[in-house]
Structures are given as C-alpha cells and as structure tokens.
Amino acid sequence: MATLFEMSCKPVDGVLSPDAIIEGAQGQDVLVTSITDPIDAALIARLPPTVKLIAQFGNGYDNIDIDAAYAAGLTVTNTPSVLTEDTADMAVMLMLSLPRRLVEGAEVLPATGEWPGWSPTWMLGRRLRGKALGIVGMGRIGTAVATRAKNFGLAIHYFSRHRRPPQVEEALGATFWDSLDDMVGAVDIVSLHTPLTRTTHHILNAERLARMRRDAWVVNVSRSELVDEAALIAGIESGHLSGAALDVFENRAGVDPRLLQLARDHKVVLTAHMASATLEARLEMGETVIVNIRAFVDGAHPPHRVLPESRSKLARG
C-alpha cells in the first residue's frame, strides 16, 4: 500500500475507538478496516467527506453497517475466496477433534508427565467414517468442506439457498435438503458455512438444536450469531448433544463461563477465531484489499464490492 498510495496506519495491532478512527480518516480517500472495527451508522455519519471507500480486510463484514454506508454513497469491499481452503481445513480439523477426543488426549502427557498405558477402553472416541455430515450453506467454503469430508468417508448432506448443479452433487455424493429442520434431524454433525444475514441469525436456534440427533455435534467456523449459544450450551449440558467445536463464539462481555466449563470437561473444543490464521491467507487478504483500492481509484468497479441485502438480490436477480 505504501508503494502505491500515500497512507497512514495505526502502529500496532489493537482496537481503535470511534474517535481514533475518525481522526485517522481525516483527509483520506479510503478507510481500510477489519472485523474488530465498529463501523456503525453513527460512525459513518461522522466520516470526513473525503472518504469514499471502506475496504474491509477480511471476508466477513458484520462490523460495517452496509445499509448506512450505501445510503451515504460509500463503496464497501471485502476479501472473499482467499480464505476458502484454510477455513475448510479448520472445519474438518475440528470435526476430527470432537469424536476422536483429540484435545483431551493431547493434554494427558503434558499434564501428568506419564502415560497410563494402553487398555481396551482407554480414550475411546467415535469413528468418523460412516457418519452423516450436514452442511448449512454450500458456497465456496461449504463445498470445500464437503470435498474434504467425503475423503474421510462422511455422507454429505446440505441445505443451501440455491441447490448445486447435478454434476457437483454427483461428484460429492451430496444430498440436498430443502428443509433445514428435516436435515438437522438426519445427520450426526452440523457444520455452519452460511453468511450472517437477517434471515440466518440464529439459524441454528433452540428448536432446531432440539431436533438434532441425540449425541450429534455442532461445528461453527463461520459467525457466532448463526447459533443460539445459550441453547447450544443447554443442549450439551443436558446430554442431548455430544458437544461442539467452535472457532467463533459470543464474547462481547467475555466467553460464557458455562462454555469454558464445557471446554474443561472436554465437551466443547474452543479455538480463538483461527480459521483464517495462516500467513498465506493474510498475505492474500492484503493483496485483495489493494486490488479493490486500485480498481476504485482508477474509476473501475472493485471486484469484491459488498451491497446491502436488498440491492444484492436485485443485482443477482
């Protein structure tokens, strides 16, 4: 960026206050943000008139009020696609960690310094092959997860806004469900890969969690708001669900103590929003931000523009 543009940036990682963001945006044409920057309607109203583009460093953009930005005449971009492979890898790693008790087993030797020795019932987990995986959202990441999971012998089921072409379903051996309520009751693992929108908020709510098979698992590397976290915790505590693997969770006021206790009890695996945390992904995210900015300042349409939901539907329509 410094090679191509005149720029300024915060000196270290960390969350800036709204006032600090406004101060840093003075005289700038582009504001580069990340998921931790709260770009709400109030902040957008305070942005200096020079700012015309908000270039998000990341695939998710829940932190930006897209409707307010659009109404203010601002262009918003993000960095999709570059996170697909890393996020899919993480989802499958978490699927493996749950039934095979990977985290629990990895803690034994460091905690005691001794191995209790092999026995027929030592650290018994569950076999992954033959289980049914239900994918919610069969976009780029969902499809990449399905491809990997098929190689582990999982039966692929999916619910998505749009059904995939027959050749894709055939290659994956995937079964499409037009009812999410029905699908969650027919699979052993539910993995979430849908964007957060008004219609997907708590898409895995208390009622759907109750419909899931007894001893089923939930995997979420997408957005915490897709799951009713309190209902998920209750389902695991009651024994209805075997557990969950979460790379995202509601943590505005700190991680729920009940969730932390479930992790200590090895009912839940928690990772700290690591799905996209590879050097390669971060470099590609930065390069994509630059591509979006370059296109915008050259008067072209940025390749990764984000529109309000209503406008997106019209554009697709």
CATH of the domain at 57: 3.40.50.720
Number of domains observed in the structure of the chain? 2
Are 265 and 225 found together in one domain?
yes
Are 54 and 29 found together in one domain?
yes
Contact 263, 269 (CB under 8 A): yes
Are 207 and 304 found together in one domain?
no
pLDDT digits (tens, 9 = 90+) for 47-99: 999 999 999 999 889 899 999 999 999 999 999 889 999 999 999 999 999 99
pTM score over 0.75: yes
For the cut 90, the answer to whether the pLDDT of residue 22 exceeds it is yes
Burial, 162: exposed, middle or buried (Cβ in 10 Å; 0-12, 13-18, 19+)?
Answer: exposed
The mean per-residue pLDDT over the stretch 114-136 comes to 92
Q: Is residue 12 domain-resident?
A: no
C-alpha distance from residue 145 to each of 80, 87, 154, 159, 193 (Å)? 16, 8, 11, 14, 9
Q: Is residue 236 domain-resident?
A: yes
The mean per-residue pLDDT over the stretch 282-311 comes to 92
Q: What is the pLDDT of residue 316?
A: 39
Unique residue bearing structure tokens 């492979």? 85
pLDDT band at 314 (very low <50, low <70, confident <90, very high): very low
Q: Is residue 27 domain-resident?
A: yes
For the cut 80, the answer to whether the pLDDT of residue 9 exceeds it is yes
Are 254 and 142 found together in one domain?
yes
Q: Which of 96, 95, 107, 101 is nearest to 267 (CA)?
A: 101
Q: Is residue 2 domain-resident?
A: no
Buried b (16+ CB within 10 A) or exposed e, 277-290: ebeebbebbeebbb
Which domain covers residue 182, as residue numbers?
Answer: 84-115+124-270
The structure tokens listed for 207 are 């009622």
Map residue 158 onto helix, strand or coil.
Answer: strand
CA distance 68 to 248: 26
Are 260 and 156 found together in one domain?
yes
Q: Which residues contact 237 (CB under 8 A, 6 or more apart)?
A: 258, 262
Q: What is the pLDDT of residue 10?
A: 76
Full strand arrangement of the beta sheet holding 30-33: 30-33, 53-56, 75-77, 305-306
Rg (CA), the chain: 21
Q: What is the pLDDT of residue 197?
A: 86
| Range with the poorest average pLDDT among 9-18, 46-55, 226-235 | 9-18
Are 56 and 134 found together in one domain?
no
